[in-house]
Amino acid sequence: MHVAVVVVAHNGGELVARCVKALLATDHASFEVVVVDNGSSDERMLDLLPSENERLRLLRLADNLGFAGGVNAGIDFATVHGRRVPELFALINQDCFVRPGWLAPLAAVLEAEPDVAVVGGRILEPDGRTLQHAGGRVHGNGLTDHIGRGSRDDSAYRRLADVDYVCGALCAFRADTWRRFGPFDEGYFPAYYEEVDFCLRARASGRRIVYVPDSVALHREASSSGRGSRLFLERYHRNRLRFVVRHLAARGARARWARAELGWLLGRRHWHELTPVLRAYREVPRFVGELRAEQSA
pLDDT at 52: 79
Neighbours of 181 (CB within 10 A): 21
pLDDT band (50, 70, 90) for residue 225: low
DSSP 34-75: EEEEES-S-THHHHTS-S--TTEEEEEESS--HHHHHHHHHH
Is residue 226 predicted with pLDDT exceeding 60?
A: no
pLDDT at 85: 95
pLDDT band (50, 70, 90) for residue 269: confident
Is residue 230 predicted with pLDDT exceeding 90?
A: no
pLDDT at 224: 53
Cα-based distances in Å from 9 to 37, 88, 174, 191: 5, 20, 22, 13
Burial of 202 (0-12, 13-18, 19+ CB in 10 A): buried
pLDDT at 43: 75
Instruction: Give the pLDDT mean for 60-71.
Output: 97
Burial of 31 (0-12, 13-18, 19+ CB in 10 A): buried
pLDDT at 73: 98
pLDDT at 228: 63
* Contact indicator for 4, 89 with CB cutoff of 8 Å: yes
pLDDT band (50, 70, 90) for residue 42: confident
pLDDT at 88: 98
Look up the CATH superfamily of 3-219: Spore Coat Polysaccharide Biosynthesis Protein SpsA; Chain A (3.90.550.10)
Is residue 223 predicted with pLDDT exceeding 70?
A: no
Average pLDDT score over the chain: 93
pLDDT at 227: 62
* Contact indicator for 239, 278 with CB cutoff of 8 Å: no
Question: Could you give the percent of the chain with pLDDT greater than 70?
Answer: 97
pLDDT at 51: 76
Of 175, 193, 176, which Cα lies nearest the Cα of 88? 175
pLDDT at 184: 98
Instruction: Give the pLDDT mean for 44-52.
Output: 79
Instruction: Give the pLDDT mean for 24-42.
Output: 94
pLDDT at 272: 79
pLDDT at 106: 98
Cα–Cα distance measured from residue 136 to residue 208, given in angstroms and rounded to the nearest whole number:
13
Of 137-141, 182-186, 248-252, which gets the smallest average pLDDT? 248-252
What is the SS3 assignment for 116? strand
What is the SS3 assignment for 83? coil
* Contact indicator for 82, 56 with CB cutoff of 8 Å: no
CA-only gyration radius of the chain, Å: 19
Instruction: Give the pLDDT mean for 147-152.
Output: 98
Higher pLDDT, 297 or 204: 204
pLDDT at 156: 97
pLDDT at 50: 82
pTM, two decimals, is 0.95
pLDDT at 255: 86
User: How confident is the model over 100-128, as pLDDT tens digits?
Assistant: 999 999 999 999 999 999 999 999 999 99
Write down the domain spans for the chain.
3-219, 230-296
What is the SS3 assignment for 1? coil
